[in-house]
Amino acid sequence: MPSAESPKLSRRRWITTTSGVIAAGLVKTQADAIQLIAQEAPTDPTKVPGRLVSEIGSRAPGEQPKRLIRAPALSSSSRTPLADLMGTITPADLHFERHHAGIPEIRFEDHELLVHGMVERPMVFRMSELMRYPQVSRIRFLECSGNGGGVYNRERMPTEVTVQALDGLLSTSEWTGVAVSTILREVGVRPGANWVLAEGGDSAVMSRSVPLEKVMKDSILAYGQNGERIRPEQGYPLRLFNPGYEGNTSVKWLRRIEVTDQPTHTRDETSKYTDPLGDGTVRQFSLVMDAKSVITFPSYPYVLPDKGWWEIRGLAWSGRGRITRVEVSTDGGRNWSDAALEGPILDKSTVRFRHLFEWNGRDTVILSRATDETGYVQPTVEQLWEARGIRTSYHQNHQRAWKIARTGEVTFGLGDLV
């Protein structure tokens, strides 16, 4: 085993050791053996032969980011570790999940998509047929409309909450597939059509209505994610992907599209995904995700080890188009400075922002707010309460704050600002 004690170990001996660990039944695969051996990294790695190539890579032993699951036995969602990530792309195995009845097992060869309703030629497509049509790829965010719901209620405002637990129902991927418009032109949409119904092949038969204008503009029948086939929990082998829309409309395991003149008012869009407003009315088909930003560093439970220059880092996005500006405040919202935005700034995708600030070692409250190309500015929680009342459960895109204590400890700070 490569260690400080045996720096001149030959590669042959090292391989034998790996095999020995496997043969002894301590571990099952070479990857596991490497993991075991790697616990004891050499003092000088240049004196020890390195590990060989592999068909599939694995993370470093010390780097094991994970999705957050709140109640493992029952949970229907898992959250992306936003504070562990850099840039904008979410590794596919860390993309957030939200299922209504679990992940169905579907074989690529068996799956079919029926497109019917107000069309000239109803058609059934097998996956191999869909993949023959012109292919498009787009880097876009996907966010659950319930993301951030944990910090909207004045009575239950947490302080010790991670950005993963709070806003981890957000991920970004390069999605690949066929434009919905390509397939709808193939079947021929009839006059009078205004909506489509998208139906999933899971045991919830999750179904949502989406405006025809939207799906003709930029929706995708997605079979690829970050270069590879879409993962089972993301809808394998096929999902509808509606850029900028609330996540649940991007129906997974898509098996049916029906072209209609009106929304279908499915169970999933009447019992859920509607927003009770302050005046007693209910907002329905609130489909677009409004502009939002979150600071991912520093955030709970990070502790700043000393004062001085630190870079505030975060993500901003808007379902209405491009982010044009992110501002950061380091004095609780009194003064704001423009953060630097990392290009390319893509339509309906996350953008990374950053802002250097000198922490003076005193109590400090930091916030961010995003503006998109429509001029929409991420609101304060007070503005959202005013506009939508306090009983609404979705689309809580208000500004988030983090408090930095004199000790360097960072906690969620919205409670103090209201």
Least separation, in Å, of the C-beta of 251 and a second copy?
13
Least separation, in Å, of the C-beta of 322 and a second copy?
12
Choose, by CB under 8 A, the member of 18, 21, 33, 97 that binds a second copy: 97
In terms of Cα–Cα distance, which of 139, 320, 347 is closest to 224? 139
Binding residues for a second copy, how many (CB under 8 A)? 95
Residues 111-150 that bind a second copy (CB under 8 A): 132-137, 139
Is position 217 an interface residue for a second copy (rule: CB under 8 A)?
A: no
Residues 357-416 that bind a second copy (CB under 8 A): none
Both tokens of 347, joined, read: 């339509």
Calculate the dihedral angle through the C-alpha atoms of 20, 22, 24, 27, rounding to the nearest 10 degrees. Answer: 140
Q: Which helix (H) or strand (E) holds 213?
A: helix 212-218
CB nearer to a second copy: pick between 82 and 287: 82
- φ, ψ of residue 83 to 5 degrees: the values are -75, -20
CB nearer to a second copy: pick between 78 and 380: 78
Q: Which helix (H) or strand (E) holds 242?
A: none
How many whole angstroms separate alpha carbon 178 and alpha carbon 287?
22
Choose, by CB under 8 A, the member of 25, 86, 192, 362 that binds a second copy: 86
CB nearer to a second copy: pick between 347 and 409: 347
DSSP three-state, residue 45: helix
Least separation, in Å, of the C-beta of 136 and a second copy?
7
Beta pairing partners, 76: none
Least separation, in Å, of the C-beta of 157 and a second copy?
26
Least separation, in Å, of the C-beta of 156 and a second copy?
24
Is position 24 an interface residue for a second copy (rule: CB under 8 A)?
A: no
Q: Which residue has the tokens 């880097």?
A: 139
CB nearer to a second copy: pick between 132 and 190: 132
C-alpha pair distances (Å), 193 with each of 208, 262, 345: 16, 8, 34
Stretch touching a second copy by CB under 8 A, among 195-203, 274-282, 316-324, 326-334: 195-203
Q: Is the dihedral of CA 128, 134, 139, 140 positive or negative?
A: negative
In terms of Cα–Cα distance, which of 137, 13, 277 is closest to 2? 13
With contact defined as beta carbons under 8 Å apart, do 313 and 418 qualify? no
Is position 89 an interface residue for a second copy (rule: CB under 8 A)?
A: yes
Calculate the dihedral angle through the C-alpha atoms of 256, 261, 267, 268, rounding to the nearest 10 degrees. Answer: 70
Residues 224-243 that bind a second copy (CB under 8 A): 224, 226-229, 231-233, 236-237
In terms of Cα–Cα distance, which of 186, 175, 99, 85 is closest to 138? 175
**If you write DSSP's letter for every residue of 222-256 in order, what string do you get?**
EEEETTEEPPGGGTTT-EEE-TTBBGGGS-SSEEE
Least separation, in Å, of the C-beta of 23 and a second copy?
16
Choose, by CB under 8 A, the member of 83, 94, 183, 339 that binds a second copy: 94
Residues 27-56 that bind a second copy (CB under 8 A): 28, 37-38, 41-42, 45-56
Choose, by CB under 8 A, the member of 110, 155, 213, 279 that binds a second copy: 110
Residues 297-356 that bind a second copy (CB under 8 A): 309-311, 313, 342, 344, 346, 352, 354, 356
Residues 155-184 that bind a second copy (CB under 8 A): 174-176
